[in-house]
Amino acid sequence: MSKLQFKNKWVLVTGASSGLGQEMARQLAYQHQANLVLLARRRDKLEQLKTELEKDAKVNVKVVVADLSNIKDVDRAMDDILKDEQLYGSILNAGVTYFGRHAELGWDQFETMLQTNVVSVVRITNRLLAHFEATGNEGGILIVSSMAGLFPVPYQSAYSATKAFILTFARALTHEIKNPRFSLSVYAPGGIVTEMTAGENFHDLQGWLMPVKQAAKEGIYALQTRKSTYVPGLLNRVGGFFMNLLPSKFITGKMSKVYERALNKAQGPNPKI
């Protein structure tokens, strides 16, 4: 398949109010001249970005406010987005994380993570795939997973599991697509410098995090070139290769020590744990 060309095409970006989603939206507008559908919960952030991009990048921007942990909001948003049949590309980036001891993760917090990271992604993908299969239009989806979906991460157990689900889901689903002009890609970055990793718990891991501009650029590249599964950064790819050669228990154990040390330094000593 030929590369996707975003100029004057409509591209959906979820989680566009901050972090990786916001940076992807900016690069799509300034560097690719794409028109954008920006989706997130925070209207004020989306409206600010819309004003900036329409003024400075000279593109068209539509704001859709939705809470992706609420299935009714997901369906309402997709009804609105697909009604004019102009959508060309989609970046399903919205997600929430948790870094800490799993026993301290509240059930409500876990359900929100599950609904946002898994259920909304599957629901939106189902709607998009049905649309592109029915119309035969050219286009593509990029699902943002994580290296935490490739290699289990202790102290991010639930988050890691959600990313593993969508990684496996997308890898399998891509082989069911009948429209030869439509592609489904998975993007699996490591940690990224965003709001999600700005807390004290992540302070000791900052040296491992990729700058958001680089992560956004590589994600757009993965969508545009229709990569099946794409891990950004040479060190990540080389590291991933060698990690696959080692016993998973050994790798997970090493990661556990690194993350536990970072968590303990952030929270201070706790002799009861």
pLDDT at 212 over 80: yes
Question: Is residue 5 assigned to a domain?
Answer: no
> In degrees rounded to 5, what are phi and psi of residue 23?
-70, -40
Confidence band of 268 (pLDDT split at 50, 70, 90)? very low
Question: Is residue 127 assigned to a domain?
Answer: yes
Residue 166's CB is within 10 A of a number of other CB atoms, namely 23
Question: Is residue 3 assigned to a domain?
Answer: no
Strand order in the sheet with 229-230: 61-65, 35-40, 10-14, 87-92, 139-144, 182-187, 229-230
Question: Is residue 272 assigned to a domain?
Answer: no
Confidence band of 273 (pLDDT split at 50, 70, 90)? very low
71-98 pLDDT per residue, tens: 999 999 999 999 988 999 999 999 999 9
Residue 143 belongs to what domain range?
Answer: 10-232+242-267
Q: Does residue 61 contact residue 10 with C-beta atoms inside 8 Å?
A: no
Q: Is 226 helix (H, G, I), strand (E, B) or coil?
A: coil
Domain of 158: which CATH number?
Answer: 3.40.50.720
124-181 pLDDT per residue, tens: 999 999 999 999 999 999 999 998 888 888 888 999 999 999 999 999 999 999 999 9
Least confident span in 29-33, 81-85, 97-101, 234-238: 234-238
Residue 228's CB is within 10 A of a number of other CB atoms, namely 13
Environment class of 215 (CB within 10 Å of its CB; exposed 0-12, middle 13-18, buried 19+): buried
166-211 pLDDT per residue, tens: 999 999 999 999 999 999 999 999 867 655 544 454 444 444 678 8
Q: Does residue 126 contact residue 78 with C-beta atoms inside 8 Å?
A: no
User: What distance in Å separates the CA atoms of residue 165 and residue 161, rounded to the nearest whole number?
Assistant: 6
User: What distance in Å separates the CA atoms of residue 203 and residue 262, rounded to the nearest whole number?
Assistant: 7
Q: Is 208 helix (H, G, I), strand (E, B) or coil?
A: helix
Question: Is residue 175 assigned to a domain?
Answer: yes
> In degrees rounded to 5, what are phi and psi of residue 17?
-80, -15
In the set 88, 98, 159, 230, the catalytic residue is 159
pLDDT at 250 over 80: no
Is 88 an annotated catalytic residue?
no
pTM of the model: 0.83
Q: How many domains does the chain fold into?
A: 1
Q: What tokens appear for 88 in the block?
A: 């060309």
